[in-house]
Chains A and B, each alone.
Chain A
């Protein structure tokens, strides 16, 4: 069973640039959630994708956008980067529908630094 993998693990960008982070969900999971974890804080919910559709969104501006592909992998895109976007971005997969238990399976994250 393949776990959740994220890429890249680390990256550095400058203000105003755009970034794309990628996530492969655990085998058999059809739901992907993205979280932002600032240093010393808990993960903050960005949005969730279920069967290629956005299924809910947290309190993040529209410059945070995402996609889910037919194989259930996902991308997080952030435009017009700001210094406060510096954080660890976590992807979590889960099983939706009747198989939903609430448990999230996390990748190790992508650490973004914005200079």
Chain B
């Protein structure tokens, strides 16, 4: 079946550092791709999405580009803040089911 693989955490960065969290997917066709974020004690919420190849999703300074040729959707942010500390989940949707990666925990130190 389809799967989503993302880099293992935790990732620990200092404030204002550059962030990359890698994500690859195996779904064939043209799934929609998502990044969700889970802040401590809260449910998952959508961070950004891209629905077709070469689309770039962006929100709150985070960006990810849908790369069909490498089946990837890496999350990036140029300058992280302490408030970005959370767990980040990559996901793809083909049909009725959304498949999530295992999550990457990010710690940002002041």
CB distance from A76 to the nearest CB of B (A): 15
Q: Is A41 in contact with B96, judged by CB distance below 8 angstroms?
A: no
Q: Does B17 contact A (CB under 8 A)?
A: no
Q: Is A42 in contact with B96, judged by CB distance below 8 angstroms?
A: no
* CB-contacts of A5-42 with B (<8 A): 33, 35, 40-42
Q: Is A103 in contact with B100, judged by CB distance below 8 angstroms?
A: no
For the complex, count residues of B whose C-beta is within 8 A of A: 23
Q: Is B102 in contact with A106, judged by CB distance below 8 angstroms?
A: no
For the complex, count residues of A whose C-beta is within 8 A of B: 25
Contacts A41-B102, A43-B89, A55-B96; is A102 near B43 (CB within 8 Å)? no
CA distance A58 to B102 in the complex (A): 16
Contacts A43-B89, A56-B95, A58-B97; is A106 near B34 (CB within 8 Å)? no
Q: Is A102 in contact with B42, judged by CB distance below 8 angstroms?
A: no
Q: Is B95 in contact with A103, judged by CB distance below 8 angstroms?
A: no
* CB-contacts of B34-62 with A (<8 A): 34, 36, 41-46, 49, 51
* CB-contacts of A86-115 with B (<8 A): 90, 92, 101-109
Query: What residues on A are CB-neighbors of B32 within 8 Å?
Result: 101-102
Question: Which chain A residue lies CB-closest to B31?
Answer: A102
Contacts A41-B103, A43-B89; is A106 near B97 (CB within 8 Å)? no
CA distance A35 to B41 in the complex (A): 17
Q: Is B97 in contact with A108, judged by CB distance below 8 angstroms?
A: no
Contacts A48-B97, A102-B49 known; list 16 others, CB within 8 Å. Answer: A42-B89, A45-B98, A48-B96, A55-B96, A56-B97, A90-B44, A92-B44, A101-B32, A102-B34, A102-B98, A103-B49, A104-B36, A104-B98, A106-B43, A108-B41, A109-B43
Q: Does B81 contact A (CB under 8 A)?
A: no
In-complex Cβ contact of B45 among A33, A43, A48, A106 (8 A): A106
Pull 6 A–B residue pairs with CB atoms less than 8 Å apart, ordered by A.
A33-B98, A40-B102, A42-B102, A55-B96, A56-B96, A102-B51
Contacts A102-B51, A102-B93; is A108 near B42 (CB within 8 Å)? yes
